[in-house]
Amino acid sequence: MSPCRSIERSIASSSIRALEDQDLLLALNSARKTFESESKGVIYEDLPTAPSLQVLTRAIVDAVRAFAKQYAQAREQAGPREAALLPDWGPAEAARCLEVLAERCEFHVDRARLAAGAGNDRARLDAGPGLQGREDAGSYVAYLRRVFPPGSGEPASDGPRIVLT
């Protein structure tokens, strides 16, 4: 799985149910600043002021570190030829990945801002079939939660299941 996808999965599984795109953008930018400073050799943790966003920022940083650890293990286990094809992946690359995710999130924030100011007829059409009229239709967080529903990618539990056919 790509680093961006790992981070997106972490965001989707966030315990903050009322997470808004603007808040996610703050957390992504804080995590990015943390890794940018680390890439320069400075250990600095940039955190938003809200405690819930501090938790989210730390979860994002933890997801990045978990990916980096898995990546390093994959490089070690690969043969010399395969390892040569895998580029280094460190704090600078993590900061770039977080920057990409922040740009995606900012796109959704801007889109929602435009929809709110333009009477939102066009925004409802842009939301796509089946999503018109939903408040979160253009939300990046809602998108991530649809792509990575709870429990996706996790081992199945022995609890009861409902199967619809």
Domain assignment of residue 67, yes or no: yes
pLDDT of residue 107: 94
Would residue 162 count as lying in a domain? no
* Residue 18 located in a structural domain: yes
The verdict on residue 104 lying in a domain is: yes
Whether 8 contacts 105, CB under 8 Å: no
Question: In total, how many domains does the chain have?
Answer: 1
Higher pLDDT, 117 or 26: 26
Question: Which structural domain range is residue 116 located in?
Answer: 3-147
Residue 156 lies in a domain: no
Report if residue 165 sits inside a domain. Answer: no
Q: Indicate the angle between helix axes 140-147 and 21-39, nearest 10 degrees.
A: 80
In a domain? residue 70: yes
Structural domain contains residue 141 = yes
Q: pLDDT (tens digit, 9 = 90+) per residue, 72-91? A: 888 888 888 887 788 888 99
- pTM as predicted: 0.76
pLDDT in tens, 2-45: 788 888 998 998 888 889 999 999 999 999 999 999 999 999 99
Instruction: Say which DSSP state 120 is in.
Output: S
